[in-house]
Structures are given as C-alpha cells and as structure tokens.
Amino acid sequence: MIEPSYQGVSPSPLGELWLTSDGEALTGLYLPGHKGMGAPPAQGRRDQALFRETCRQLQAYFAGDLRTFDLPLRAVGTPFQQLVWRNLPNISWGTTVSYGELSRRIGRPTASRAVGAANGKNPISIVVPCHRVIGANGTLTGYGGGLDNKAWLLWHEAEALRKSGPA
C-alpha cells in the first residue's frame, strides 16, 4: 500500500468507503473492515474536495447509473499485479470471469493462482472491479472487502443490469 497524502470517505450502501490519494490520483478505495487495512492512518490530510468526483461517480454506480469509472488512478504494485489490475476493467459490468479465464486473457494461462493473489492485492476496490473475478466452479472466493460485500456488489450490478438492460 502507498502511504497516502490525502484521505477521505464516501458513503455507500456497504458503509463508509475509505479513499486515499497522492494528490493527483486515487491510490486506494477500501471497504469497511477491508482485510489487512485496520483503521485509516491519522497522519493523512483530510480533503473531501479532492474526492468530490470520486464520490459523485461512486454514488452514480450505487444508483445503477454508472458502469465505467473515469478517474485518474495510481496503484502501486509489481509489474504482474499491474498487468492484472489493468485488465480488470475489461470484465463487463454485471458479469464475472474465473481466475483461470483472467489468466488466459492476460496471456498467462497457467498463472491462475498468481492472478488470484494479484487480484487480492488490488488497492482500488469497486473502481478496479476485482469483485467480478470468481472461482472456476462459480463460487465466490477471496475478496479483501469481505465475501458478503463481493456478493452484494455482484448482485447490485446484475440487478441494475436486469432493470436497465445492456449498455
């Protein structure tokens, strides 16, 4: 995780989301009780104005009106993690793929476990949709934000898609 320069919160149906930024781009979006996160660091500067657009887009997402986020992002990770994270937004809204399918999509067909590990380290939840990756047998597996939240996010997208139809 990058040491955030700025931090803020965004309300959501899942509770307050913790946002971090380096002053230029979103560096983290964490759900309440996100695995390994603990409490937000006290030393980060709070600046809600910096996160206004992030909050607006998140509200539109939770209303079912936004399917693609358009925010400056900067997640720090290994080259392999970066490769996995860059490909997560290519998973269509309201759909899922397996870790094996994602590994094939990135040209690493035997790396499904490594893809799972990289997916689990994604610091920008929801916006970089790691919740759309599931087990090969269709089960929900590993989500830093909690499996209940992963299930809710997938239900939310499927329900909004059912109500509005394909994009």
pLDDT, tens only, 53-94:
999 999 999 999 999 999 999 999 999 999 999 999 999 988
The stretch 3-16 carries a mean pLDDT of 84
**Amino acid making up residue 59:** Q
Domains of the chain: 6-62 (3.30.160), 79-164 (1.10.10.10)
- When pLDDT is averaged across residues 110-123 and rounded to a whole number, the result is 93
CA pair distance 77, 130, nearest whole angstrom: 15
Residues acting as catalytic residues = 130
Distances (CA, A) of 95 to 28, 65, 90, 98, 126: 23, 16, 11, 11, 14
- What does pTM read for this prediction? 0.88
| Residue 163 confidence (pLDDT) | 83
Quick one: pLDDT band at residue 24, thresholds 50, 70, 90?
confident
Q: Would you state the pLDDT for residue 141?
A: 84
pLDDT at position 64: 92
Mean pLDDT of 141-160: 90
CB atoms within 10 A of CB 88: 20
Q: Cα separations (Å) of 65 from 16, 29, 35, 56, 58? A: 20, 20, 28, 11, 10
Per-residue pLDDT, 26: 93
